[in-house]
Each structure stands twice: as structure tokens, then as C-alpha cells.
Structure 1
Amino acid sequence: MTRMYHYATVSKALDQLHEKGFTCDFNLNSDLIKKNPEKFEIVHVYRYEGESDPGDEAVVYGIKSTSGKKGVYVSGFSADSDQETAKFLFDLSIKGR
């Protein structure tokens, strides 16, 4: 089951996930998730909304692999963020509901 939370900052969301054992940085291995989506599940979604600049918005995903590896993926909404991966993860989170 996917759980969605709202936090004041991305760093607070990352701290919460780290306390729950989500220590791997899946931003560095996003191709692994894209190529093997059946081996990953999004279990937490943290959304951060900037107060005035939509470019400050971000989503932090808590992801767990079938082998038990837990990690995070941070997706921003700025022009230079990886929109392909962000959309893929968003679709995964909807499927997990």
C-alpha cells in the first residue's frame, strides 16, 4: 500500500525515510528501476510544495525492491529534472494504490 505524506521540506521527508531504513539513492540507479519495474514497489510518497515558486515542488518516493533493498528517489518539477523517470515513478505509484 502506498502512503502519501506532506512535509515542510524535502530534507525532513528524507530524514523520515532514512529512519525507516530507506538508505539507497535510487536517483543514481534510475535505469535499474526503469528496466525492472516488477522488482520495485513504491511504499511511501512525500510531496513538497514550494510556497511561491512551482519550480520548488518535489516528490520524494520511498522505494523497496523485491530483494528487500530500500531507497529513495527525489523527483523535482524543474526544467532540468528527469521528467521521463518522474512520470514512470508516478505511474508506478498509482498502480500500487
Structure 2
Amino acid sequence: MSITPGEMTTLSAVLEKLRIKKRDSEFRMTPEGFGTGNGKYYTPEQLKIIKTYRFEGDSDPSDSSIIYLIEADNGLIGYSLDAYGAYSDHEDDGYDDFIRKIQMEERDEQIIFEDKPENLTPVE
């Protein structure tokens, strides 16, 4: 999944690229750990973050979010979507502590998009 500098990208565009690449299983926080709706739950030790996409928007608060691309120890690759800042709602469910415990792959590539008046571009 390659995004070239200067390419206009939105959260929904990244999610669509993940869907096309069959990496669209959403990891959601549950009392048992991260689940994808298939009855299996994962602990932080069974997961690693392989890429992050961060969206920062002054004009649109919904763009202040991050997508974690996550690989499970059984080969499943999916994502977890998190809002941050004023719109983060994970205070009581343990999400923040859980995500911090997941190992980040050494080659993790963080792609940052800023909402600018003229377009939405990656920050180098």
C-alpha cells in the first residue's frame, strides 16, 4: 500500500485500500482483548503494529484519528481505528493501555496527513 507524497488521501480512502488488499478485519476492544468478530480474541503479545496512518485536521475534527495496521500471530492482518484528542472515547475500556502494549514492528512506517486548506497531504 503505497501513498505518494502530495497525494490527497482521506481516512475513508485508506480504509478502502485496506479492503481491496483484504486487510479490512477491524480489531475492536472487548473485555477479552482485541476481537475481529470471528470469536477469537488477541492479547497485546499476540499482535504487532506494522504501519500507522495518522490524520490531523484543524477544519474537520473527525480527521483527528489514527489507523493502526496490525498483524496477529496467526497471520491475520487488520486494523484498529482510534480518534485522538478531544474526540477520543477510550478512557474507560482500556484501549489506550492495550494499544501501548502492542509491539511496533521495527520497520513501522508512520504516514501523517494534515488537513490543509488547499488539500490533504502527507507530512514528510
Q: For the residues of structure 1 that align with 2:31 and 2:55, how far apart are their CA atoms?
A: 21
Q: For the residues of structure 2 that align with 1:41 and 1:57, how far apart are their CA atoms?
A: 23
Instruction: Name the structure 2 match of 1:24.
Output: 25
From the superposition, tell whether residues 64 and 39 of structure 1 become closer, same or farther in structure 2 (CA, over 3 Å). Answer: same
User: Does 2:72 correspond to 1:65?
Assistant: yes
TM-score (norm 1): 0.68
C-alpha RMSD over aligned residues: 3.2
Structure with more of its chain in strand, by fraction: 2
Moved over 6 A (4+): none
1:81 corresponds to which of 80, 83, 89? 89
TM-score (norm 2): 0.56
Is the contact between residue 52 and residue 68 of structure 2 (CA under 8 Å) also seen in structure 1?
yes
Stretches of structure 1 that go unaligned for 5 or more consecutive residues are none
Tell me which amino acid in the other structure corresponds to 1:14.
L
Identity of aligned residues (%): 24
Structure with more of its chain in helix, by fraction: 1
> Which has more radius of gyration?
2
Q: Deviations over 1:40-84 (max 9, x none)?
A: 111121111113355640000111111111211100024452144
User: Does 2:102 correspond to 1:92?
Assistant: yes
